[in-house]
Amino acid sequence: MQIIVQVALVLAVIIVSLALMRGGSNARHLAIRRIMLVLFAFLAALSIFFPELLTRVARLLGIGRGTDLVLYGLIVSFLVFMATTYQRFRHMESTLTKLSRRIALDETPPPGVDGPPERKEAEPDRRLTPPAHGGQ
């Protein structure tokens, strides 16, 4: 019985993560994530006040204690959180890349149609943006 619950939980992690990762930031997914969060918070609070209630549910599922059930739920929601956050970061990174590239290209005169560029002596910095610090 326990192994079935464990397999079901792992499957739930994968399916929910995939479902939430796809489409990323649309309103429906955000709503689902928020509902899940509220539900989880509610269950967690409930388990503090009525530990035996969750334990009964856990027994039903073949898991030892109610707190274990909460722990499993926490792991699932943490993984979903990680997956969606990762996705959001990737999205933000690609936006930043496009923006930076546009700035970089706009600040450089495009290749002319005449011959090879002249050898220039320490041309003044014509960038509008201040130089970056830090990096990697």
Contacts to another protein by CB under 8 A: 86, 90, 93-94, 96-97, 100-101, 103-105, 107-108, 110-111, 113, 115-117, 119-123, 125, 127, 129, 131-136
Q: Give CA torsion, residues 120, 121, 124, 130, to 10 deg.
A: 90
* Minimum CB–partner distance for residue 71 and another protein (Å): 25
Of 49 and 117, nearer to another protein (C-beta) is 117
Of 10 and 41, nearer to another protein (C-beta) is 10
Of 31 and 82, nearer to another protein (C-beta) is 82
**Positive/negative CA dihedral, 41, 73, 39, 81:** positive
* Minimum CB–partner distance for residue 129 and another protein (Å): 4
* Minimum CB–partner distance for residue 120 and another protein (Å): 7
* Minimum CB–partner distance for residue 99 and another protein (Å): 9
* Pair of tokens at residue 103: 């700035």
Long-range contacts of 69-78 (CB under 8 A, 24+ apart): 70/43, 70/44, 72/9, 73/40, 73/43, 74/40, 75/9, 75/13, 76/9, 76/12, 76/13, 76/16, 77/36, 77/37, 77/40
Compute the distance between CA of residue 88 and CA of residue 25 in angstroms, rounded to an integer. 8
Of 75 and 92, nearer to another protein (C-beta) is 92
